Homo-oligomer: A and B are copies of this chain.
Amino acid sequence: MKIPVVQKVLEANERIGEQNRRLFEEMKVFVINLVSGPGAGKTTLLERTVEALKDQYRIGVIEGDIQSTLDAQKIASKGASVVQINTGGACHLDGNMIREAIGKLDLTTLDVLIVENVGNLVCPVEFDIGEHFKVMLLSVPEGDDKPLKYPLIFHESRLLLINKMDLLPYVSFNVEKIRKESLKINPYLEIIEISCKTGDGLSSWFRWLKHKAKKG
């Protein structure tokens, strides 16, 4: 009895995700679903991105957290339109939450919408929220064994950003191993090495985002 209920939830979510995507396309808004474990640096990445691109793109952010509005405040201060979703315990964002959040954003004023999902390498991947692409952020101190342990998130993402490259001298992390194992799971995955702290590699991420947003 339990499994059919869960199935219906996922099916209903797919339908809402698809509706969201259609709306985004009508409104010509390019949408990223940003996923990572806790503390990989999603919020800092968004701060840097909004700072760098706000004069060229009108950027909206939907900020997903179990609770608190800490991250939303940081990003809003950089000049993005931000809506906070507090999931109140739920470990991921779903299509319905995004549909509600969109109601609080004026999509006609946006070019790019970035959704910062709850910090979790497992659950967010199973819920289509209507994004064009999932972008995964993995930070160097998390270790290079993640593709084998959490393959689905590597499989479903279009871009892998390897963050905190500045910590490479201090931890055991083999970039070539990550690249090889990630591409074995998902040959279409693009990979960019960055450090939100030093700024290294961020120009490649901005280029990726601009290029995709143009087509989106």
For the complex formed, measure the closest distance between the CB of A91 and the CB atoms of chain B, giving whole angstroms. 4
Identify which of residues 97-155 in chain A touch chain B, using a CB-to-CB cut-off of 8 Å.
118-123, 126, 139, 141-143, 145-146, 148-152
Interface size range on A against B? 35 or more
Q: How far is the CA of A91 from the CA of B91 in the complex (A)?
A: 9
Q: Which of B39, B166, B170 contacts A166 (CB 8 A)?
A: B170
Q: How far is the CA of A89 from the CA of B149 in the complex (A)?
A: 10
Number of copies: 2
- Which residues from chain B contact A53 at a C-beta distance below 8 Å? none
- Which residues from chain B contact A119 at a C-beta distance below 8 Å? 37, 121, 149-150
Contact in complex: A123, B121 (CB < 8 Å): no
Confirm or deny: A203 has a beta carbon within 8 angstroms of a beta carbon on chain B: no
Chain B proximity mask over A152-177: 1 for CB below 8 Å, otherwise 0: 10000000000010110011000000
Query: Given the known A-B contacts A37-B38, A38-B121, are A67 and B142 also in contact in the complex, defined by CB atoms under 8 Å?
Result: no
Q: How far is the CA of A146 from the CA of B118 in the complex (A)?
A: 12
Q: How far is the CA of A171 from the CA of B149 in the complex (A)?
A: 26
Q: How far is the CA of A9 from the CA of B145 in the complex (A)?
A: 32
Query: Given the known A-B contacts A119-B121, A167-B171, are A148 and B68 also in contact in the complex, defined by CB atoms under 8 Å?
Result: yes
Q: How far is the CA of A157 from the CA of B122 in the complex (A)?
A: 21
Confirm or deny: A193 has a beta carbon within 8 angstroms of a beta carbon on chain B: no
